[in-house]
Amino acid sequence: MNQPIGPVALITGGTRGIGLGIARSLAAEGWRLALGGLRALEEVAAVADVFGAFEAEGVEVCYCRGDVADAKDRSRIVEEVRERFGALQLLVNNAGITSPGRRDILDAEEDDFDRVLDVNLKGPFFLTQLCARWMIQQHDADPGFQGTIVNISSVSGEVVSIHRGDYCLSKSATRMATRLWAVRMAPHAVSVYEVQPGIIHSDMTEGVTEKYDRLIADGLTVEPRWGEPEDVGRAVAMLARGDLSYATGQVLTIDGGLLIRRL
């Protein structure tokens, strides 16, 4: 096996759905990957097999188990990446949960609200803080260092869903988090972006497939199909390559035209 080469990416929620699509796109371009997730290692063994061909070419992949909503887990994940790879060029904040039970906001419960915001907003914010401090250290040590942070949000940050109020709020706040980190990290050669997916085939949408099949058939999106994890993956890979320069803080919407206003 060749010696491991290539930049390093940490992808939270990287073993399924959109996160796995992102991981596949980055692995194909030679990135070394740390994939975060909640499941036990034996439960993600099948995912490890997906990357076997890349590992044969020297692309390292490791699994970092932990809950981004837990401060100790966040610190441990970053330390595991540091010990394994010694560097970090890309953080993808992808881990997230939908609103438990998809309750009407009149029936929303505080415990569920807290959990959604902890996973979708608070956790990524403080994980970004840890990784940003490390990226600053790397830039101080090497002025040629360039880093990237990508926050995966959702069109639900702009489109109202009264049965997922906590989820909508968390994704709307991701926009401000992206801008905050973009301003803070620009002096250290770290670009920060938001990728805003639309209706994407994933575990999160599995339970509402029939609903979105009908809406797409009725014209919800300009492009008459579901989005796939690889659609998002290619967008993140483009940002990670630095192909969208001089644009830190911006939003890239991957929604098949869902947000286009039409008469």
Taking the CB of residue 19, how many other CB atoms lie within 10 A of it?
26
Q: Which helix (H) or strand (E) holds 211?
A: helix 209-217
Bridge partners of 32, per DSSP, are 8
Taking the CB of residue 208, how many other CB atoms lie within 10 A of it?
13
Quote the CA–CA distance of 8 and 59 in Å, as a whole number: 10
Quote the CA–CA distance of 119 and 170 in Å, as a whole number: 9
Quote the CA–CA distance of 93 and 174 in Å, as a whole number: 10
Active site residue 167: yes
Which of 192, 168, 76 minimizes the C-alpha distance to 130?
A: 76
Task: Catalytic residue, from 63, 167, 193, 212: name it.
Answer: 167
Quote the CA–CA distance of 160 and 247 in Å, as a whole number: 27
Quote the CA–CA distance of 11 and 96 in Å, as a whole number: 12
Convert 71-104 to b/e letters by CB count within 10 Å (16 or more is b).
eebbeebbebbeeebebbbbbbbbbbbbbbeebe
Give catalytic residue positions: 167
